[in-house]
Structure 1
Amino acid sequence: KYILTDLVSTPAFCKALGYSLFLKFCLYVGVDLLVHYRIKNLEVLYVNGNALEGTLPHCFSNLMTSLRQIPISICPTFPHLSLLFLSKNAFEGDIPPCLSGMKDISILDLSNNQLSGRVPEELITKSSLTVLRLSNNNLSGNVIPMIFHANGLWDLYLDGNNFYGEMKNVDVSTFEFPTSLREIDLRNNKLYGDLPRWIGNVPFLEKLALSENGFEGSIPMEFCNLNYLEFLDLSENNLFGSIPTCFNPPDIKHVHLQGNRLSGPLPIAFYNSSSLVTLDLGGNNLTGSIPKWIGTLSSLSVLLLKANNLHGRIPVQLCKLYSLSMIDLSHNMFYGFIPSCLGNLTLKTKDQKTLTSYFIEASDVLEDKLPYDKETRWRGDGLQEYPDTYMEEWVQFTTKSRSYSYGGLILEDMTGIDLSCNKLTGQIPPELGNLSQIHSLNLSYNNLTGVIPSSFSNLKQIESLDLSYNSLSGEIPNQLVELNSLEVFSVAHNNLSGSIPEPKAQFGTFIESSYEGNPFLCGAILHKSCSRINSPSTISTISDDIGEDGLFDAYDFCVSFFISYVVVLLTIFAVLYVNPYWRRSWFEMHHHLSFRNWRQLSCVLHLQAMCLTIMKIYAKFVHVVLGKNFCYDLLYQVIT
């Protein structure tokens, strides 16, 4: 009655054909089998992920002679098909029109082939079809009018094609929309125009993906009517304006709006959205600060706000989101200290981050079609499974100096924090060393000071650690050589000193660019012997005192220097005022000094220039050793 196989190799294959045939990842090359038996009764044909070459078995001789196209004879050969899966087979040509006439077919998957041409209109409007998947082909034409008549269709996947046309608005009062649609995926096509308001009239829509098209305008207020929406992807378009404050579906889990021109503050619409798992608003023009109500998003696992115009301090309310595993606040204008409580995040991997809650077993789908013994025949035999949804969850995250796309099981396991390219100050909290599950940590391009915490040696899972372009001082903790998973490491362009870690384990793979821009670092990789470095221990001691013990503060030093300078000047004036003899001598000296005495004037100018040079060198010393840009600027202004 049924057969489940991963390799067709027996002569009894064709005789065994009954109601279903599962052929996954097989190679049909010159296989010659016996004649078919009851092949017309086949109801499920699953031929996915094959490298189809040569000829099919003899029992399929009535079906096709070429494996490059889907033959039109498939319809009369299998008249009772209800489930047809032909994805990932490199099929070319058009979709056979006869598929529209198969009265029993309910699920049709022709995705990931090389099909071209237009989609038969009757295929989408066919009443018996519930799931149609044509993703990742070369299909073209305008399919928008067909969607208006997709009565009975539940899931429509047309992503990754060349469909074009404007999604025009229609009069909702004179048009009856298909009420059965649950999922619409039109990603990565050539659609344009304003986002259609009629989408808000699809009552039971759960997942909507319109990313990577040419849509413009603002997000329609009608989207607030999508009360069953769980997944929304409008990324990589030209949308502008603010996010409607009324948009707050009770079961929303994943929101992707990155890569647009949206403006305004973070919308209060997401306030108290306890179901929200992913919030990706990166690459927009959002302003303001991260609101304190961010702490109400109890299920939030992925927060991506990179490349906006956000400012203010990083709120400590983020530390209350114990489900957080990926945070990207880079390329904004955040200032202040890094909250030490971020070290309390568990960063546990979550299966909620992925969209697909797969799978439905074949026993569930074909329960009425395949009479089998669940306890004996199918146990341990690799049951064929069908995903609950074909919609996929993908996020972009920068690590190892590159931007990667994460989805599926990889997304579930990914953890990382990116706070780079901001205006953060202060020391790196040692508590960040408690993030034992983190894979990527990027704090580069800030104004961080102090030392590198030795607690970073506890980051056993970390693969990328970037602390470059700050004002860090002191030595690089040698305990970091214990990080055996570390692939990318950079402390370039800081004020670090001393010897670099021993070149063993992963640190034996890092090159000179990982340490460049630190003139007081030494080591074989830098072609600089530590014995020839001028007083590295003294510099290291000063930096350690500043960063660890807090006994010497650079800001206090700058203030005391300025006050001392003023006090010296006031003292000179006070002495001249109190002592008349010295005062007369002072004025007589300046009276006799004239511009005609160029030799005396030259000596005075040279003396002043020498003093100024010495003071500039001293100010530069403060800038390099203490790592304080504002201190150097203050000294320079005083000298001037």
Structure 2
Amino acid sequence: MLSNLEVQTQYSQDWLPTFQLKVLVLSKCKFYNIPQFLAYQTKVRVIDLSHNNLNGIFPNWLFENNTKLEFLSLRNNSLTGQFHLSSNSSYVMRSIDISDNHLHGELQPNLGDLFSKARELNLSSNAFEGHIPFSIGHMPELHYLDLSNNMLSGEIATTLVGLANFSNLVILAASNNKLYGQIPNSINMTSLMSLQLSGNRITGNLSSWISYYPSFSNLDISDNHITGGIPPSIGNQSNISQMELNMAGNELEGRIPSELARLNLLYLDLSHNFLSGPIPSFFNSPSLQHFNLEGNRLTGSIPESLFNFSKLLTLNIRDNLLSSHIPSSIGALSNLRVLLLSRNSLGGLIPDQMCQLNELGILDLSDNLFSGPIPRCFGNISFGKLTLSEFGYQSLLRYDDNGFIIVEIRANLLYSFSLFFSLNIEYGKREKIGFVTKTRPSIYEGRILEMMSGLDLSCNKLTGEIPAEFGTLSSIHALNLSHNQLRGFIPTTFANLRQIESLDLSHNKLSGEIPSKLIGLTFLSYFNVAYNNLSGRLPNMDWQFQTFDSKSYEGNPFLCGHPLRSCNVIHDIPQVAPSNTDMSEEKWYHIDPLSFTASFMGSYLVFLVAFALVLYINPGWRRMLFMFIENLIDECYFLVFYTVPKLFATLYK
């Protein structure tokens, strides 16, 4: 068994193997062709060539040559063609994984009859089309079926009824296909624990079928067209030890029912629906790790009870109609990694208790009404790398003499010569985090999410200076403080933000110079200080700074240097060093008083000389001016000696 190696598959064409293998494991070995000697193997029981760069037509002959083959994994390669096997052969396959390839065409009608003894069948992430064969229902021992990320079509009710004999089926995944219609309420999948149907065209409402599926520990029906409210009967699944529930991206409406409090939730995503009313204060799920209510019409304040989830890792309630302030009890979420509260109407001061969230990697408070200074203790928050294992679930479906168990551990594929195999599967939905960096909204998940960290306080009413303590955030990748009312200097400690890629300080009232030490930020790819009161010469256009154009600096009339106008145009701009003292009483501009007085007096003198010269040259204008002055004197005389005395006489009669 070999894995994670670079293997050469070139050898003499005349060489023929004199041995018969039973187990061949060459996973992650970076080779491009299926070893030719496999064409001479007839007794292999285990073949794992997953996670390579295999290309060419799918090797159907592997099944036909090895009638005792029980385990085959060709996952994550570049194989093409169709998956069509001879109907004349007899197969004893127990586990088939050909996911993540480029296979296409329709699935053969008798597929389930050919693999009647299979326990796992993974055909996901290919380009299969057409209807799901009814013969798959002839696989009574099947525990795991994954057809997701294809182009399979058909009515969901017909499909599920065709699989009704799956009394042992534990996981059914058919996400991201073209299935349509309503989910039926009369199927016989008594062992089903995970149903994943996201990204289809499913319609109807939950109340017609949800109560008929009492054994779910994972339900993902996100990104469909399901309407109506969330029925109270959803609380009937309270006997499940831990449950993952994803109903995001539908057309659900009404209030969040109190019956959800009965569920011991691990993951709850109700985002991007039409849910209204306040966030319920009844949630009391000690195991909840991911909570997402983004993009609804929720109103009111953030309930204090929301901060009782000691294991919570991500909290996303942005893009709602929430008001009031952030409760000080938020500091109790000591394990929180991601907090997204943007695009609401939250106001008041940012509580210092947020600084107790030491493990935060991403914090977004943008587009609210927060006021006052930025807490200096924000420098105590790590804003470091997120741990990937916290954001995805990967369970191991393991078989033994007594059947199977599901355990939440992460491991490589395991092999046993006694043929009690294990299979890595994705159980649940991997968390995705949306965050704006470099002015563009991006979705982070997987390895990218692991590397991301950021703080967004933009579009609020924050005042005061930027805390110098921000310089301790050495691992942060994105910092956005734009569109506030911040004053003072850009802290020189920003030079310590060695990992930063995006820095936006635009649309504030910052003054002074741009610290020259910022040119040492070699990862910086977006920099914006536009529309402030900055002055002085721009830093040398070295490293990343030579990639920033004038838009990064516009709206600062006293800045000079490339790519702005030359500093020779602006004379005598004093060089002001940053200071930690209070600058609130100082002017934001820096002009030499002597130069200003001389310029003003000179301009005034030129105006007077020009005016006198015009009157001297044009006698007509001169007479008109004198007549205007004479009439003005007469009007003033009449007003003082006639109109005013008459007015006083009238008042005192």
TM-score when scaled to structure 2? 0.76
Q: Which amino acid in structure 1 is aligned with residue 232 of structure 2?
A: R
Cα distance, 1:507 vs. partner? Answer: 0.4
Secondary structure of residue in 2 paired with 1:517? coil
1:260 aligns with 296
Q: Does the CA-based 8 Å contact 1:36-1:60 persist in structure 2?
A: no
Secondary structure of residue in 1 paired with 2:450? helix
The answer to whether structure 1 residue 190 and structure 2 residue 222 are counterparts is: no
1:408 aligns with 446
Secondary structure of residue in 2 paired with 1:472? strand
What does the per-residue CA deviation read over 1:391-417, in whole Å, with 9 as the maximum and x for residues that have no partner? 110111111111111112222221110
C-alpha RMSD over aligned residues:
3.4
What does the per-residue CA deviation read over 1:171-224, in whole Å, with 9 as the maximum and x for residues that have no partner? x9xx6x444210000011111111122211112151000000111111011001
Q: Does the CA-based 8 Å contact 1:275-1:299 persist in structure 2?
A: yes
2:236 aligns with 201
What does the per-residue CA deviation read over 1:545-580, in whole Å, with 9 as the maximum and x for residues that have no partner? 8x64337714999xxxxxxxxxxxxxxxxxxxxxxx
The answer to whether structure 1 residue 339 and structure 2 residue 366 are counterparts is: no
Secondary structure of residue in 2 paired with 1:343? helix
1:166 aligns with 205
2:141 aligns with 104
Among residues 185, 193, 206, which one is paired with 1:154 in the alignment? 193
CA distance in 1, matches of 2:475, 2:290: 23
Q: Which amino acid in structure 2 is aligned with residue 128 of structure 1?
A: N
1:491 aligns with 529
Q: Does the CA-based 8 Å contact 2:435-2:441 persist in structure 1?
A: yes
Q: Does the CA-based 8 Å contact 2:331-2:357 persist in structure 1?
A: yes
Cα distance, 1:496 vs. partner? Answer: 0.4
Q: Which amino acid in structure 2 is aligned with residue 71 of structure 1?
A: Q
Secondary structure of residue in 1 paired with 2:275? strand
Cα distance, 1:272 vs. partner? Answer: 2.8
The answer to whether structure 1 residue 15 and structure 2 residue 42 are counterparts is: yes
Gaps of 5+ in 2: 1-21, 28-32, 92-102, 405-411, 590-627, 637-653
Q: Does the CA-based 8 Å contact 1:15-1:35 persist in structure 2?
A: no
Q: Point out 4+ residue stretches in structure 1 off by more than 6 angstroms.
A: 55-61, 366-370, 374-379
Cα distance, 1:378 vs. partner? Answer: 8.3
1:79 aligns with 116
More helix by share: 1
The answer to whether structure 1 residue 553 and structure 2 residue 593 are counterparts is: no
Among residues 61, 67, 70, which one is paired with 2:107 in the alignment? 70
Among residues 253, 256, 262, which one is paired with 1:219 in the alignment? 256
The answer to whether structure 1 residue 512 and structure 2 residue 547 are counterparts is: no
Secondary structure of residue in 2 paired with 1:36? helix
Secondary structure of residue in 2 paired with 1:288? coil
Secondary structure of residue in 2 paired with 1:230? strand
Cα distance, 1:27 vs. partner? Answer: 2.8
CA distance in 1, matches of 2:152, 2:482: 46
What does the per-residue CA deviation read over 1:254-297, in whole Å, with 9 as the maximum and x for residues that have no partner? 10000000011001221332111110000000111000000111
The answer to whether structure 1 residue 477 and structure 2 residue 515 are counterparts is: yes
1:531 aligns with 568
Describe how 1:161-560 pairs up with structure 2 within 5 A. 161-168=200-207, 177-203=212-238, 204=240, 206-226=243-263, 228-351=264-387, 354-358=390-394, 360=396, 364-365=398-399, 386-387=424-425, 389-526=427-564, 528-537=565-574, 541=576, 548-550=580-582, 553-554=585-586
Secondary structure of residue in 2 paired with 1:258? coil
Q: Does the CA-based 8 Å contact 1:356-1:387 persist in structure 2?
A: no
CA distance in 2, matches of 1:24, 1:549: 59
CA distance in 2, matches of 1:101, 1:59: 18
Q: 1:42 to 1:433 in 2, by over 3 A?
A: same
Q: 1:124 to 1:476 in 2, by over 3 A?
A: farther
Secondary structure of residue in 2 paired with 1:322? coil
Q: Which amino acid in structure 2 is aligned with residue 466 of structure 1?
A: D
Cα distance, 1:127 vs. partner? Answer: 1.0
Cα distance, 1:602 vs. partner? Answer: 11
Cα distance, 1:9 vs. partner? Answer: 3.0
Gaps of 5+ in 1: 558-594, 604-640
CA distance in 1, matches of 2:168, 2:432: 31
Q: Does the CA-based 8 Å contact 1:44-1:84 persist in structure 2?
A: no
Q: Does the CA-based 8 Å contact 2:175-2:200 persist in structure 1?
A: yes
Q: Does the CA-based 8 Å contact 1:51-1:89 persist in structure 2?
A: no
Cα distance, 1:160 vs. partner? Answer: 1.1
CA distance in 1, matches of 2:401, 2:66: 20
Among residues 161, 176, 179, which one is paired with 1:139 in the alignment? 179
Secondary structure of residue in 1 paired with 2:226? strand
Q: Which amino acid in structure 2 is aligned with residue 258 of structure 1?
A: E
Secondary structure of residue in 2 paired with 1:269? helix
CA distance in 2, matches of 1:89, 1:30: 12
Q: Does the CA-based 8 Å contact 1:306-1:330 persist in structure 2?
A: yes
Q: Which amino acid in structure 2 is aligned with residue 254 of structure 1?
A: H
1:581 aligns with none
2:131 aligns with 94
Cα distance, 1:500 vs. partner? Answer: 0.9
CA distance in 2, matches of 1:601, 1:202: 97
CA distance in 1, matches of 2:85, 2:308: 62
Q: Does the CA-based 8 Å contact 1:427-1:450 persist in structure 2?
A: yes
Q: Does the CA-based 8 Å contact 2:112-2:137 persist in structure 1?
A: no
CA distance in 2, matches of 1:182, 1:295: 30
Q: Which amino acid in structure 1 is aligned with residue 341 of structure 2?
A: L
What does the per-residue CA deviation read over 1:482-521, in whole Å, with 9 as the maximum and x for residues that have no partner? 0001010000000100111111100011111000111100
Higher RCO (CA 8 Å, separation ≥ 6 residues) = 1
CA distance in 2, matches of 1:525, 1:367: 73
Q: Does the CA-based 8 Å contact 1:462-1:485 persist in structure 2?
A: yes
CA distance in 1, matches of 2:71, 2:161: 24
CA distance in 2, matches of 1:553, 1:44: 77
Q: Does the CA-based 8 Å contact 1:277-1:353 persist in structure 2?
A: no
Q: Share of identical aligned residues, percent?
A: 38
CA distance in 1, matches of 2:179, 2:126: 16
Q: Does the CA-based 8 Å contact 2:254-2:274 persist in structure 1?
A: yes
Q: Does the CA-based 8 Å contact 1:144-1:167 persist in structure 2?
A: no
Secondary structure of residue in 2 paired with 1:201? helix
Q: 1:313 to 1:34 in 2, by over 3 A?
A: closer
